[in-house]
Amino acid sequence: MRKRLFGTNGIRGVVNETLTPQLALRVAEAIGTFFNSGEILLGYDGRTSSPALASAVASGLAATSCTVYLAGMAPTPAIQYAVKNHRFDGGVIITASHNPPEYNGIKVLGNDGVEISRSQEIEIEEIFFEEKQKRAEWNKIGEIRKLPNIIEEYIEAIKKHVDVEKIREKQFKVVVDPGNGVGGLAAPRLLRELGCKVFTINANIDGTFPSRPSEPRPENLGDLAAIVRALNADFGVAYDGDADRAIFVDETGVIHWGDRTFALIEKEFLKQNPGETIVTPVSSSTLIKDVAEAYNGKVVWTKVGSVDVSHKMKEINAKLGGEENGGVFYAPHQPVRDGAMTTALILEILAKTGRKLSELLNELPKYFIEKDKVECPENLKEKVLEVLYEELERENLKFDTIDGAKIWFSDCSILVRPSGTEPIFRLYAEAKTREKALELIKEYKEKLSQIIAKVT
Ligand code: MG
């Protein structure tokens, strides 16, 4: 197996264990060589290690004669937007998104602000492992400059994509929970400019994430839900550490998982843009398909991973994409996950429909989701999938093979997917009743175990 630096979301590791400033510098020399003396924007999230790693990356990029522009601390989507807006050749973000505080990572962006493709990652890995870094002569070292104001420009850009007047008229009351991440730098300001009365919790940037884990999940947003209710707010919104994902709490204090808010955005989008294609990973809820069918849209499924969604959207020129974890991609702004843009879209929907968030979300079809896993040695995964496909074909079942096997039944579905990081298969079943979802899980766990026993 070839050596790899990049995982599903850039290069990630525990700081000063698997990800040291030294490694960051060497990786940056490979990135700089890949960009061939280009102009590169560099920014970072609020983690304690981010400034140190960013300095190392700046040095490596400059050493390979790139001109480095420092954006400083900012939400990931703000840095992505700035790369496109200022026509840089590429960008680098120091972030580990929603991972625990001891982690950090390096994300590489192309000239449109979207993460580079898998094949470009391999090019960088080749430069790195074969030590083909092109260090410049002493008089060709790149300059390191500052680029101020990217957050202001980002906020202005988002406002161009929603009906600002209509939102302002409503004077919404919103509670924002950035979870001590960089979301606090953009969203509260954007919402105030949209005429909202904004309350914040956990808005001080603290890379130790003292208030809640940096991944917003229903089980850790209780404080936000309680404050939304106590203040009689229209809704609450929580961001992950680098603010590309948004999870919403309705005015009654109910926390909704990302596929439901994505489906709401999808519905209103398709009403305005019938016939459009929606891009989403195979792990997303059937809800996305139901809404597309009901409102004259098409769904294109991708592998699990935001980079796959972004690249598919670019390839087929799709305007809207989304993930179940709260990542919404709105391409008229940029085809990447963007927490503040997502919040503006929800505000616009509330303003235009004049209805409560709970009402809008509760009228969407309801599904029960059950998850489980089956252990399987890494070297057997491929063979197991092959046999599973053969069996599904023999049984005449309808299934997709985009990422594992997604098997469609008339009123339920199950995804059986090899994990990219652990020696397991993950199972996600979805049905109209909890019993049916559990039944599906049981059936496919058995099937998978039998296949694994057979091929061992
Ligand atoms: Mg993130």
Domain 153-362 CATH class label: alpha beta
Residue at token pair 């690249």: 311
Domains 11-148 and 368-455 belong to one CATH topology: no
The maximal CA–CA distance of the chain, rounded, in angstroms, is 69
Q: Mark whether 97 is an active-site residue.
A: yes
Domains of the chain, by residue range, sit at 11-148, 153-362, 368-455
Distance 173 CA to ligand 1 centre (A): 25
Distance 245 CA to ligand 1 centre (A): 6
Distance 241 CA to ligand 1 centre (A): 6
| d(C-alpha 94, C-alpha 295), whole Å | 39
pLDDT at 1: 59
| d(C-alpha 456, C-alpha 449), whole Å | 11
The catalytic residue among 97, 285, 306, 413 is 97
Strand partners, 119: none
pLDDT at 4: 87
Distance 97 CA to ligand 1 centre (A): 4
Provide the CATH topology of domain 368-455.
Answer: TATA-Binding Protein (3.30.310)
pLDDT at 422: 83
Sign of the C-alpha dihedral computed for residues 252, 256, 261 and 264 taken in this order:
negative
pLDDT at 420: 77
Between the alpha carbon of residue 326 and those of residues 40, 264, 295, the distances in Å are 29, 12, 21
Distance 88 CA to ligand 1 centre (A): 22
Each residue's pLDDT, cut to its tens digit, for the chain (456 residues) gives 578 898 877 899 999 999 999 999 999 999 999 999 999 999 999 999 999 999 999 999 999 999 999 999 999 999 999 999 999 999 999 999 999 999 999 999 999 999 999 999 999 999 999 999 999 999 999 999 999 999 999 999 999 999 999 999 999 999 999 999 999 999 999 999 999 999 999 999 999 999 999 999 999 999 999 999 999 999 999 999 999 999 999 999 999 999 999 999 999 999 999 999 999 999 999 999 999 999 999 999 999 999 999 999 999 999 999 999 999 999 999 999 999 999 999 999 999 999 999 999 999 999 999 999 999 998 999 999 999 999 999 999 999 999 999 999 988 999 999 987 789 999 999 999 999 999 999 999 999 999 999 998
Distance in angstroms between the alpha carbons of the first and the last residue of the chain: 20
Distance 242 CA to ligand 1 centre (A): 5
Distance 398 CA to ligand 1 centre (A): 33
Provide the CATH topology of domain 11-148.
Answer: Alpha-D-Glucose-1,6-Bisphosphate; Chain A, domain 3 (3.40.120)
pLDDT at 107: 97
Identity of the amino acid at 383: K
Distance 244 CA to ligand 1 centre (A): 5
Question: Beta-carbon neighbour count of residue 70 at 10 Å?
Answer: 16
Distance 355 CA to ligand 1 centre (A): 29
Q: Which residues contact 241 (CB under 8 A, 6 or more apart)?
A: 45, 46, 47, 95, 96, 97, 98, 99, 179, 181, 182, 209, 214, 215
Distance 135 CA to ligand 1 centre (A): 32
**Residue 166 CA, distance from chain mean position:** 28
